[in-house]
Amino acid sequence: MEYFPVEIIGNILSRLGAARDVVVASLTCRKWREARRNHLDTLTFNSNDWPVYDELSRSRLEVIITQTIFQTNSLQCLSIILKNDVRFSAAPVIAWLMYTRDTLRLLHYYVDTPNLNILEKCGHQSLELLDLAENTITGFGSSYQRFPCLRSLSLTHVHISTLDLSNLLSACPKVEVLNLDDMDFDTSGPEFSMRLSSNSLKDIHIEAIQLREIILEADSLKKLHLKDCNIGSFALLSNETLRILELDNVDIFPLDIGDNAENLEIVEVSNFTTFRSDFHHMIVRLSKVRRMSLCFVMFEDDGDEFVHTEATSACFPHLSLLSLTDELRQELKCGLLGYRQLENLVVLELGWKMISDSFSDWVVELLERCPNLRQLVILGAVSGVNTHEECHTLANFTTFIIRLMRKYLRVDIQFKYV
């Protein structure tokens, strides 16, 4: 060990990360203390690593963190994630941020700190990742600050106005990843809508948000994931770069992704409510899609006005995995997936919310459309099967499938019941 250069010890300490382990290890000898002082790049204060944090008073915690941070001089990654509703006062946090300003690249900060303007105090020039929770961001609108290196921005349960968020994004010319979760938007003003604009964003994840309107202008967007959201109207303005779309437990009317449907490769929709024509309009144009999952889709309207002509020419030549639930059977009849064969479909997953006799017929219909199928998966909700009649239906279905699959010997059948 005597031969380990101090930089290597710094490497090892940085991988320990958890502040307590780092401090304990550096008590061993002078070389380790030197490594901690000059070669430590990561420091983590996380309740999960050391539950004792939760038992300490606020002021004790502030002292410990201050002492530990001030004994380093090249910190690149700082992570402070504490439970138990602790609240720091702004002064020590400002000290930590100013002290590490020149070298800090990654900051994870999950502690409610009133009167702290964190964006103003952290280093702008070098910050690459900001992961913030439980704080308030105000007054960014008139600021001249920019974050030239920021690549990833994550905000969880942060109080901010939609305008300030929009301005913040504009101040990050290289941002590629945006995560918004359970945001506390300042909707007391006239803005119930959010307009975000970024030419560099590639990956957007929005969760647990309720807004009247969202407009995203993102010319480089590749992946969009919306979860547990209630959004009045949603529009995506982009350069057809979108490849992955995930909508999970979302209500959107109307939904507009423009021409982006053309290049989508993966589409996963589950527990989704929208207007019927919007949905048909989007799905029927997914000519490049490879994997598609449409489960538990509901429509707010009975609209029959959608165009059938698009359906007759619709085809899905690259589709290799398809997952559907039976409420879409009627939509398929109306041309949701066109009328042609699904030549390259290899895996088909069909599910039901409530078992019914007509489900078997639907399986037959679809099997006939998939000449090169290799695997059929039946996803069934059986926890609600209680009455004698329902059990009978399930048993009949099982028998029917077994007989049916003898005709399709090349297809492997699997049952997944929940």
Partner 1 sequence: MSSEKLLTLKTSDGEEFVLEEAMAFRSLTIKNAASTNTNNNTPLSINVQSNTMIKVIEYWTKHSERDISEDQLMTFDKNFFKLMDKSKLFDLVLATNYLAATELLDAACEQVADRIRRKTPEEIRDFFNITREDEEQIFKELNN
List contacts with partner 1 (CB under 8 A). Answer: 1, 3-5, 8, 11-13, 15-16, 18, 21, 24-25, 27-30, 33
Nearer CB in complex with partner 1: 22/119: 22
How far apart CA 229 and CA 251 sit, in angstroms, is 6
For 320, which DSSP code? -
Closest CA to 166 of 359, 183, 149: 183
How far apart CA 168 and CA 146 sit, in angstroms, is 8
Closest CA to 412 of 361, 365, 378, 369: 378
Nearer CB in complex with partner 1: 30/388: 30
CB of 11 vs partner 1, minimal distance in Å = 5
CB of 119 vs partner 1, minimal distance in Å = 32
> Token pair of 37, please?
């002082």
Closest CA to 43 of 60, 67, 20, 9: 20
Half-sphere exposure of 225 (CA within 13 A, CB side): 12
CB of 31 vs partner 1, minimal distance in Å = 8
Query: Which residues sit opposite 412 in a β-bridge?
Result: 375
> Token pair of 38, please?
């000059």
CB of 40 vs partner 1, minimal distance in Å = 12
* Helix, strand, or coil (residue 49): coil
CB of 16 vs partner 1, minimal distance in Å = 5
CA dist 234 → 61, 81, 211, 250, 404 (Å): 44, 33, 10, 11, 43
Nearer CB in complex with partner 1: 10/338: 10
Nearer CB in complex with partner 1: 55/304: 55
Helix spans in 149-226 (H) = 162-170
Q: What is the biggest distance separating any 2 CA atoms in the chain, rounded to whole angstroms?
A: 79
Nearer CB in complex with partner 1: 11/239: 11
Site of tokens 């879409």:
328
> Token pair of 269, please?
């929709």
For 293, which DSSP code? E
CA dihedral 19→24→25→27, nearest 10 degrees, is 130
How far apart CA 155 and CA 180 sit, in angstroms, is 5
Residue type, 77: C
Nearer CB in complex with partner 1: 35/350: 35
* Helix, strand, or coil (residue 64): helix
**Whether 291 contacts 266, CB under 8 Å:** yes
> Token pair of 386, please?
């209680």
Nearer CB in complex with partner 1: 30/410: 30
